[in-house]
Amino acid sequence: MIFIVVKWLPKPEHVESFPDFVADFTRATRNEPGNLFFEWSRSLENPSEYVLVEGFRDGDAGGAHVNSEHFKTFVAAAPDVLASTPLIISDSVGADGWGEMGEIKVG
């Protein structure tokens, strides 16, 4: 699996509307056949920062994502609403999705 985490810092005037800005991109990405998950969160330490956690089946699925029309459209529009270049970690991991945490068991 290709596992990706991206930190996004919108301009102050776009912080509250950022979920609306990414909605179409998110929906289209989640519909890609190789997408495993595409989840947005808001930082507890910096409420102006959003964090995106992504998973793609493999490198081919990741390549299809970055070559899709919705990705290209989003990348072209994003600089207008961002205060800085997003920060990313992207790596291949030996998993195919989420698993239960071993250190905490509920129920």
Would you place residue 103 in the very low, low, confident or very high pLDDT band (cuts 50, 70, 90)?
Answer: very high
* Residue at 106 is within a domain: no
Of 44, 56, 50, 57, nearest to 84 by C-alpha is: 50
* Residue at 41 is within a domain: yes
In degrees, rounded to 5, the angle at the alpha carbon of residue 82 between the alpha carbons of residues 76 and 83 is 140
* Residue at 11 is within a domain: yes
pLDDT (tens digit per residue) in 63-88: 999 999 999 999 999 999 999 999 99
Average pLDDT, the chain: 97
Range of the domain at 65: 2-50+59-92
Would you place residue 22 in the very low, low, confident or very high pLDDT band (cuts 50, 70, 90)?
Answer: very high
* Residue at 104 is within a domain: no
Of 50, 72, 45, nearest to 5 by C-alpha is: 50
* Residue at 107 is within a domain: no
Would you place residue 105 in the very low, low, confident or very high pLDDT band (cuts 50, 70, 90)?
Answer: very high
Question: Both tokens of residue 83?
Answer: 């205060």
Residue 29 is which amino acid?
Answer: T
Question: Both tokens of residue 67?
Answer: 């070559």
Task: Tally the domains of the chain.
Answer: 1
What pLDDT, on the 0 to 100 scale, is given for residue 77? 98
CATH (domain of 13): 3.30.70.100
* Residue at 102 is within a domain: no
Q: Which residue has the higher pLDDT, 107 or 9?
A: 9
pLDDT (tens digit per residue) in 24-72: 999 999 999 999 999 999 999 999 999 999 999 999 999 999 999 999 9
- Bridge partners, residue 89, by sequence: 5
Residue 29: exposed, middle, or buried by beta-carbon count in 10 A (0-12, 13-18, 19+)? buried
* Residue at 17 is within a domain: yes
* Residue at 86 is within a domain: yes
